[in-house]
Amino acid sequence: MAEEFVTRFAPSPTGYLHIGGARTALFNWLLAKHNGGKMLLRIEDTDRARSTQDAVDALIDGLTWLELDWDGEPVSQFGRVERHREVVDQMLASGAAYRCYATAEELNQMREEQRAAGLPPRYDGRWRDRDPSEAPDGVAPAIRLKSPLDGETVVEDEVQGRVVFPNKDLDDLVIMRSDGTPTYMLAVVVDDHDMGVTHIVRGDDHLTNSAKQKLIYQSLGWTIPSMAHIPLIHGPDGAKLSKRHGALGAEAYREMGYLPAAMRNYLARLGWSHGDEEIMSTEDMIKWFGLGSVGKSPSRFDFKKLENLNGHYMRATDDAELLKHWKVYLAHVDGGKPILDWILANEAIALGALPGLKERAKTLVELTESASYLWRQRPLDLDEKAEKILDEDARNILRDLAEILNGVSEWNAEPLETAVKAYAESKELKLGKVAQPLRAALTGRGTSPGIYDVLVALGREESIGRISDQARG
């Protein structure tokens, strides 16, 4: 039987799914799908102060919105603490780890002396080979890994290539604190091993950790998973990603009106490429994804690109699907509730208006703004441009149009357009002279989706009503 292919996403709950984390999740997900494997989810919730239920829910919510699913139940790292302790005991018994009774004061003093001597701060191994019978009374020991003193640890990274760490630089790291809590470094290794993870993909800020983790694997005689450390995301100016640059949670992108498919495509291109392809369906990305084409240098986050890509996805998404995302957006954005209620009560109208709306909108924010003519109440309030358009001549035109359009037997774009054009010709008016007042009356705005789309979406009664509201009596 072929070996199972298992990746995992292992976020620490911070209160949201950070955009860098979202990309890490996506890469793990694509890699698993490409190889017919699984992606597991492990919540690294050992920091109890930060790991509130809300913070965990926010991670799940972000992944769910991005439609990145995982196999099985999410694993809680904190929930596995007994297993971590068991492994520590096993390491103590085999001699792979030892008890260190150095007090905090002693360790501080040791570091200060090293600093004064211009040496890098390192644990000096004072308890490494000491007889436990020398243990001081009343001091709870920390447990340290007995790391090799010389030689090197080599990480064959799928993205970074061969990375060499001289063992003398790797401390006898603490695997369990004196209060009995296992450290992150140990927990990650035990969890990845027990979960059967074969491929680790994570941010390159974890690269040094991978050498330390490799030492733990070796001391336990466990198979080391394949590792890939992907470069972090930077801002458009090359500096570390800041909030202003887009270092936000997934929910912020939802509120900015982006579609999950566009986000996936955009995030995949942040660091990975397939030839010159910019627009890739999720199926294509799964087919093409591989760590070999992940770049080594940080990629730059660019809102303009994301927006353009999103505009493409808005146009390409079918109406029913787009309506679904629109509702999700409205359910999460401030002030979205009354609009959502209107859509739920007028679903056919909203759906009918979408073809006209999506052509012009780069985001769901823009789409909502240009759709607002749908739910505005008569008599419409006019924006400045509409006010200007609706002068006396325009209001006379509207009086004619109310009558003419009411006479159109089939309320469809084509006959409506024919009627409006015929009227403009008969009055020797440019089409704009007729269409602009119509737009202003129907939408209360100087700009709007195509005027025939608007007429159709509003229906006969509402359209004639709005035109009559502004027509000269």
- Cα 69–74–79 angle (5° rounding)? 170
- Under rule CB under 6 A, residue 10 binds ligand GLU: yes
Contact 173, 128 (CB under 8 A): no
Chosen residue from 111, 122, 206, 312 binding ligand GLU by CB under 6 A: 206
Closer residue to ligand GLU, CB minimum distance, 59 or 357: 59
Instruction: Please enumerate, as own/partner, the contacts of 204-211 that have beta carbons within 8 Å and a separation of 24 or more.
Output: 204/159, 204/160, 204/229, 204/230, 204/231, 204/232, 205/232, 207/155, 207/157, 207/160, 207/163, 208/165, 209/185, 210/155, 210/157, 210/163, 211/153, 211/155, 211/163, 211/165, 211/170
Q: How far is the CB of 172 from ligand GLU (least distance, A)?
A: 21
Closer residue to ligand GLU, CB minimum distance, 29 or 326: 29
- Under rule CB under 6 A, residue 11 binds ligand GLU: yes
SS3 of 208-255: the string is: HHHHHHHHHHHHHCCCCCEEEEECCEECCCCCECCHHHCCCEHHHHHH
Catalytic one among 243, 304, 362, 421?
A: 243
Query: Between residue 163 and residue 192, which ones bind ligand GLU under the rule CB under 6 A?
Result: 188
The rounded distance, in Å, linking the Cα atoms of 282 and 285 is 5
Specify the stretch interacting with ligand GLU by CB under 6 A; choose among 4-12, 161-169, 307-315, 454-462: 4-12
324 is known as an active-site residue: no
Q: Which two tokens stand for residue 6?
A: 């298992």
- Under rule CB under 6 A, residue 294 binds ligand GLU: no
Q: How far is the CB of 160 from ligand GLU (least distance, A)?
A: 15
Specify the stretch interacting with ligand GLU by CB under 6 A; choose among 7-15, 90-98, 371-379, 425-433: 7-15
Closer residue to ligand GLU, CB minimum distance, 197 or 349: 197
Closer residue to ligand GLU, CB minimum distance, 188 or 438: 188
Q: How far is the CB of 7 from ligand GLU (least distance, A)?
A: 10
Closer residue to ligand GLU, CB minimum distance, 12 or 396: 12
- Under rule CB under 6 A, residue 12 binds ligand GLU: yes
Q: Which residues contact 274 (CB under 8 A, 6 or more apart)?
A: 280, 284, 285, 288, 289, 293
Active site residues: 243
Contacting residues toward ligand GLU, per CB under 6 A: 10-12, 44, 188, 202, 206
